[in-house]
Structure 1
Amino acid sequence: MPHLKTWGAVFALAVACTSAALAQPAGQVEFARGVGFAQSAGQTPRTLGQGLALQAGDRLTTAEGAYAIVKLQDGTQMTVRPNSDILIQQYEYKQNAENNSLVLQLLRGGFRAITGLINKSTPGAARVITATATIGIRGTDFDARICATDCKAESAKVPDPARSNMVLASAKLVTLLGEASVVDATGTRRRVVPGGSVYPGDVVETGVGATAVFAFRDESRVTIGANTRFKVDSFVFDQASPREGRFLVSLLQGSMRALTGLIGKANQRNVGFTTATSTIGIRGTGLDMDCSSEGSCSFFTWLGAIEVTPNGQTALQVLEAGQGLFVSRDEVRVLAAPTLGDLPRPDEVKVDMQQLFSAAALPEGTEGLYVFVRDGHIEITTASEVLQLGRGEAGFAGANGDAVRPLRIPLFLDFDIIPRPDSKNQQLRGVLNDAGVRSVNQCRG
């Protein structure tokens, strides 16, 4: 019997070692300051230090004043904040694989992250689970933090005023069938999913068989069809002064059904559409535009009226509701029927403008989950609500299921002294932070 007990212990140890060996490699620690540990279930804690290997199932904890910067295999970088507890619940990454995934469980504290290839190749493959909400990561640069009383105390130490939590996006994607992407002014392409943002200068492109509906901040909406390219040339809107707004877009190729919003109602001259063959002015309207790759376009009005001016001409043609026009380089003729009846009219699509764009008053440092997005797209989902956040936006989720965009960016987020994962001279930054020295070159967020 003693021999059986000995062999049983050896077998149990072998199983434990085999399980550890088979765990998915996740990454390693690039920098650590203060006391912190990584621990797999049933294993001895390992001190966080430069070069320490991490694996799926590891639980990362940091003490008061301590933080660690980790880098995962797909290039994701993360600063684990002081007094934090994070579980790498799931991590699977292989180059060009379709089942890559990253699931973190934020139990306490927070982190600052710059996501890697998992998000870029498969939007929706990464998320963060907390007690109050799930954070869906769509390829982004963001901070997440669970606040008790500590955040309010940190904000009280900041002498600067809080700045407005403005939605910078011109429009956000409401519904999508198929695939769509956005190319920004620098030529960088990104996948866009429902809730994703479009900014001035962006070109939206849809794939084969795709249909997408976008809502603009001024309540304008557009439905675009398959194989379409449209550009947001200029969009300016302030709820307090819609007459000073500007809405200018170009349909480069494909099909679009558009409904103008508050800018058009306040000042029709500041709304315009451009195609390869014509420019279109509006009179508070709903219109269809259908442009072929050869450059010909069909226009049809289903609400209000539009003014069509073919390129090279000074005379415009007014189309009332139920009227259409075909314009090519060689021909202009009347259309008796619309050509885009298979695409949903944007005014018939349900849009939750509050979820996409609105903000609500929130006392500084209210206890709950906070997310600040420096770039990209985050979706916060509670038991009862969904909040979409884009570049420069902060969001909050409370224990009661509320998910809101605060009117102002919380000071503890905007002036976070814990280094971002891509910061240089980490050791020097840590010493300065301990001394209470705030860099004059420090950027908010």
Structure 2
Amino acid sequence: MKKLSVLLGLWVLVLANLAFANAVATSVSGTVQVATGAAAPRLLRQGDTVRQGDTVSTGAGSSAVLKFEDGQVAALTANSRLTVATFEYNAQAGTGSVLLSLLNGGMRAITGLIGRNSPSRVTYRAGTATIGIRGTDVTIVTSFGNVVVSVTEGLISFSFGGQTISVPAGQGVNAKTDGTFQQGAASQIAQQLQATPEGQQMLNLLNGVQGLEGVIGEAATSPVNTTRSATPNPSSPTGSTGGGNASTR
């Protein structure tokens, strides 16, 4: 009986370590909101925390950069919406589980300790696409079900329309709602996007994410600080600038 009590105590401790995992907004520019479940959205400010189940939304000309407790970075360009569907982290073991769902807009994600130690436990979703990682720095944009990804570092598995392909660094994918997609060099994908108004919209999102490179770099190299409450502090600064208006590179 005593042994059972000890095991139960250890299990509760593990669950507690996972339950308190969260992210901090290291940079907020413009109008950014966060909503927990069905609750009314509230303003997100630099230094506020974001937890599992929260949805972060950026307005026009706005952006946000989140740094998770395991060191992962997720940056959102203007007019984007991201749900932290799962974020569980055991700091002692350096393991956990991540599922980020990009509902619309653009995101750049750089994996942290969970991705390095347990890459199969990190997944991103955008539209109907599912993206697995292998130590990855990836940009994902989605609009009206269309999905474009560009891999800067590492390797991703891209599942879309019943097919799964591997996409290495330097390449990208342009996936359309009709189930077709093209894979090639990231520069080739960008050229393809220029051919249609819908593609140009996706390219604008990609450029918006690229415009956040400076604040993303700051977040990636800064220490993790998740001590702030999720309740916004009206006196906190609005953070570094970095909206979605970068020019095409």
TM range (shorter): 0.7 to 0.9
Residue 286 (structure 1) shift: 0.2
**Pairing 1:307–2:152 present:** no
**Pairing 1:233–2:97 present:** no
Rate the CA distance shift 1:333–1:172 in 2: closer, same or farther, 3 A. same
Aligned equivalent of 1:168, options 20, 23, 26: 20
SS in structure 2 at match of 1:263: helix
Aligned match of 2:52: 200
How does 1:80-91 map onto structure 2 within 5 Å?
none
**Pairing 1:352–2:222 present:** yes
SS in structure 2 at match of 1:248: strand
Residue 230 (structure 1) shift: 0.6
Rate the CA distance shift 1:379–1:179 in 2: closer, same or farther, 3 A. closer
Cα distance per residue 1:251-309 (max 9 Å; x no partner): 000000110000011101100001113100000000010111x2101011001010000
SS in structure 1 at match of 2:145: coil
> Aligned partners of 2:18 and 2:102: how far apart in 1?
27
Larger Rg: 1
> Aligned partners of 1:299 and 1:352: how far apart in 2?
26
Rate the CA distance shift 1:380–1:329 in 2: closer, same or farther, 3 A. closer
How does 1:103-142 map onto structure 2 within 5 Å?
none
> Aligned partners of 1:318 and 1:169: how far apart in 2?
30
How many residue pairs get aligned? The number is 200
Contact 1:296/1:329 (<8 A) preserved: yes
Residue 207 (structure 1) shift: 0.2
**Pairing 1:325–2:193 present:** no
Amino acid at match of 1:279: T
Aligned match of 2:119: 268
Aligned match of 1:376: 231
Residue 222 (structure 1) shift: 1.1
Residue 165 (structure 1) shift: 11
Contact 1:182/1:189 (<8 A) preserved: yes
SS in structure 1 at match of 2:120: helix
Rate the CA distance shift 1:239–1:205 in 2: closer, same or farther, 3 A. same
Cα distance per residue 1:27-51 (max 9 Å; x no partner): xxxxxxxxxxxxxxxxxxxxxxxxx
Higher deviation after alignment, 172-181 or 328-337: 328-337
How does 1:67-106 map onto structure 2 within 5 Å?
none
Give the alignment's TM-score, normalised by structure 1.
0.42
Rate the CA distance shift 1:357–1:202 in 2: closer, same or farther, 3 A. closer
SS in structure 2 at match of 1:265: helix
> Aligned partners of 2:92 and 2:66: how far apart in 1?
22
Unpaired stretches in structure 2, ≥5 consecutive residues: 1-15, 191-202, 238-249
Contact 1:195/1:379 (<8 A) preserved: no
> Aligned partners of 1:306 and 1:165: how far apart in 2?
28
SS in structure 1 at match of 2:135: coil
Amino acid at match of 1:216: F
Aligned equivalent of 1:223, options 71, 75, 80: 75
> Aligned partners of 1:196 and 1:236: how far apart in 2?
18
Alpha-carbon RMSD across the aligned residues, in angstroms, is 2.7
Contact 1:169/1:197 (<8 A) preserved: no
Residue 189 (structure 1) shift: 1.0
Rate the CA distance shift 1:191–1:380 in 2: closer, same or farther, 3 A. closer
Aligned match of 2:36: 184
Rate the CA distance shift 1:166–1:194 in 2: closer, same or farther, 3 A. farther
**Pairing 1:212–2:64 present:** yes
> Aligned partners of 1:196 and 1:332: how far apart in 2?
38
Amino acid at match of 1:352: S
Contact 1:277/1:328 (<8 A) preserved: no
Give the alignment's TM-score, normalised by structure 2.
0.72
> Aligned partners of 1:325 and 1:165: how far apart in 2?
37
> Aligned partners of 2:46 and 2:115: how far apart in 1?
25
> Aligned partners of 1:309 and 1:228: how far apart in 2?
22
> Aligned partners of 1:201 and 1:177: how far apart in 2?
22
Amino acid at match of 2:147: C
**Higher helix proportion, which one?**
2
Cα distance per residue 1:300-349 (max 9 Å; x no partner): 100101000004x0x31111110000111212112432642433236522
Rate the CA distance shift 1:379–1:187 in 2: closer, same or farther, 3 A. closer
> Aligned partners of 1:316 and 1:309: how far apart in 2?
4
Aligned match of 2:148: 298
> Aligned partners of 2:170 and 2:80: how far apart in 1?
24
Aligned match of 1:430: none
